[in-house]
Each structure stands twice: as structure tokens, then as C-alpha cells.
Amino acid sequence: MADRAAEVSQAAVADVPAEVLAGLKVRLTSIDYKADQRAEHWAGNLLIETGVAKDKDQAKAMPAAWIEAGELEIVRMKDASRHEADFIKPVAGV
């Protein structure tokens, strides 16, 4: 069952070219995008705005797939209001 879930997860990002992912990583490095979809600066909004994701469901699935693949990670840090929050960032060195 875990293998099937991994296949479904990877299918969400299978058609995204490496150069598009690289561009997203640059944006995720330079601007703090949160993991929480209720946040104004949610990482999924970046995917929708850039046309990488077509809808909110896909925008939720894609970061999860890249986290599972080791491309992105969730980093706990302080936001602009100095509150602890989870942000999506590229994995260092990848």
C-alpha cells in the first residue's frame, strides 16, 4: 500500500521539467512560503500563480511529492511576525 501511495505522489510531479523545479527552488529560497494552505504566502499559491499546478488539490500534492522525493523539506522557523511556522524550502545541497 505504501508503494502505491508513493507512485500516486510521484505522478503528481512526473510531468514537471527539471528546469521548472529549479526555478521554483530559487523562488522558495528567496521568499518564505509557508506549508500551511491557510497562509497568505502558502507554497501552493506559488505553484498555482506560476501555472505549475492547475488547482488547489494539485498544489497540495506537488510539494508533498517533492518532499517525499527529497527535493524540498519543511523547515520550522519564525515568520515576519516572529511566530514559529513551517515553511517549504529546497533541501540544502540538492
Residue pLDDT, tens place only, 48-86:
999 999 999 999 999 999 999 999 999 999 998 999 999
Whether 6 shows a pLDDT value over 90: the answer reads no
- Whole-model pTM? 0.84
Integer Cα distance of 60 and 46 in angstroms = 11
CA quadruple 83, 30, 74, 1: dihedral positive or negative?
Answer: positive
**Pure H helices in the chain:** 2-11, 18-30, 43-49, 56-68
Integer Cα distance of 17 and 30 in angstroms = 21
pLDDT at res. 14: 87
pLDDT at res. 2: 52
What would the pLDDT profile of 10-33 be if each residue is shown by its tens digit? 777 988 999 999 999 999 999 999
